[in-house]
Amino acid sequence: MTGTNIKLVYWTLAVHDLDAALGFYRDVLGFQIQDDVEVEGMRSVSVSPPTQPDVRIVLEPPSGNRSVRPTDRQSITDLMADGLLGRLVFVTDNCDATFEHIEASGADVIQEPINQPSGARDCAFRDPSGNMLRFTQPHDR
């Protein structure tokens, strides 16, 4: 695909409680709300890191995907609770400060800051719906 410019602009993340998720992404992480829409009784909200307003994380309930069979909804809910569906990785310039800020909010800590074999330093949390969020500080080269 030489000469073709492809970039990611949307990522959909299933959340159990849209208001709790919104509070976490907006109030704790400082993300900006880009869209807050309701279509046919289903609400979704897209948020963006302040430094990347063109990248949107769309927060929506598992029922937002109309192609999911009702019998599969419980399986999705169980996988979400185990943190097995959603995973996001963010880059930070200070892993320890990021960790302290998010931990102070009461977020579920998965991993305290550690140095990885690659030289990066990272930590991990779960959002209010169990999605894993990693924050990595790349190794200075």
Dihedral of alpha carbons 135, 51, 14, 85, sign: negative
Tokens of residue 45, six digits: 């909200």
Q: Which domain holds residue 119?
A: 84-141
Is the domain of 51 the same as that of 19? yes
pTM: predicted TM-score of the whole model, two decimal places: 0.85
In this predicted model, what pLDDT tens digit does every residue of 32-69 receive, in sequence order? 999 999 988 889 999 999 999 999 999 998 766 667 77
Phi-psi region of 15 (alpha: psi -120 to 50; beta: other; left: phi over 0): beta
138 assigned to some structural domain: yes
Same domain, 56 and 89: no
DSSP for residue 62: G
Q: Above pLDDT 90, what percent of the chain?
A: 62
- Shared-domain flag, residues 91 and 46: no
The total of structural domains in the chain comes to: 2
